[in-house]
Amino acid sequence: MYRLLLFLRRVYVPLVFLFLEGLALHFYASSSVHTKARMLVVSDNIVGGVYDRIARAEHFVSLGTTNRALEERVRRLEGELAAWRERFSAAELDSIGATLTFPHEHVVARVVRNSIGRRENFIMIDRGTADGVRDGMAVTSIDGHMVGYVERASEHNAVCVSVLNTAFRASGLVSGTEHFGSVSWPGADPRVVRLTEVPKYAEIARGDTIVTSGYSFYFPEGIFIGTVEEFTTDETRASYDIDVRLGADIASLRVVTLVDNPGAFERIKLEREVLGTDAPGTATESVNAPSSGTQTAPRPETQSATGSQSTPPRPETQSATTR
């Protein structure tokens, strides 16, 4: 009690001042309608500012839930878009039409590790076999631009070979034509890849769109790769070497979409039976389809523009996980 009295003795002057100040404001606010209106405006501004900051804090806290909902919606829309593309493609080939199906499964994942400064760059994501990720799935940006493919998936994570990897190979098509070639990264500019083996008689111009041809086992047809920036003639092979500016900004990747190509394994198996060849890295693996997503799917080859099989070197899994 004595300490309380001492405390009040020390602060009674500020307390009396605040009391009198409040009393004066009350009398001032009650003196006329004009002053009441002014006081209401001031109080509303103060209270509104407080509520605005509280709302912003609540919005910031809820961003994670909102982003997850948006990612799930993007996944569903990507599946629907792939279904419609498949339907229209089937309609062009068969006038009878086809039943609407969802040919490609999509999984949305966050990038937890990425590199662009090495010759063999990899991307690690926070989704694995428990989320439906399988080896060999195509990786695209949230806008649907080519990024890479899944090299190895664990239960909750996966390591992907980036398009900025000198071992990366895919088949690219000059949009609007039937001319295709092999896509690779020379190892220099992280914004530019190279399309080779395009026939010299093909009509190429700066700004032309390059998309996946569908001949690669990883990527479905029509995934955007980039636009033609420069091209030169390779006299030794009578073909073009085309520099393609990537559509995806690999350095700023935060979220990616994984696209399953369900017919890839069947094509690999058929190629083995007919041609007697093995997909790289699968000589010791079974040719039977895996019964679950936790088993390792064989790694396919990429068909080059000349029709021959180009076998890219496969980076070791240990090096992928340590980079």
Which of the residues in the chain have pLDDT under 50?
93-102, 278-323
pLDDT for 91: 57
Alpha carbon of residue 33 to chain centroid: 60
Q: What does the block give as tokens for 194?
A: 């190279």
Which among 271, 280, 197 has a CA at the least distance from the CA of 239? 197
| Beta-strand pair 309-310/138-141 | unpaired
> Would you say 209 and 227 are in contact if contact means Cβ atoms under 8 Å apart?
yes
H, E, C per residue of 110-146: EEEEECCCCCEEEEEECCCHHHCCCCCCEEEECCCEE
pLDDT for 6: 79
Which among 245, 244, 286, 250 has a CA at the least distance from the CA of 269? 286
pTM: 0.56
- Residue ranges and CATH numbers for the domains of the chain are 104-323 (2.40.10.340)
With tokens 């631009």, the residue in question is 145
Alpha carbon of residue 183 to chain centroid: 19
Residue 107: C-alpha distances to residues 125, 181, 259, 263 (Å): 11, 28, 7, 17
With tokens 């091209």, the residue in question is 231
Eight-class DSSP state of 306: T
Alpha helices in 62-103 (DSSP H): 63-93
Task: Sort residue 59 into left (φ over 0), alpha (ψ -120 to 50) or beta.
Answer: alpha
- Indicate the helix (H) or strand (E) that contains 226: strand 224-234
Reduce the DSSP state of residue 258 to 3 states and report it: strand
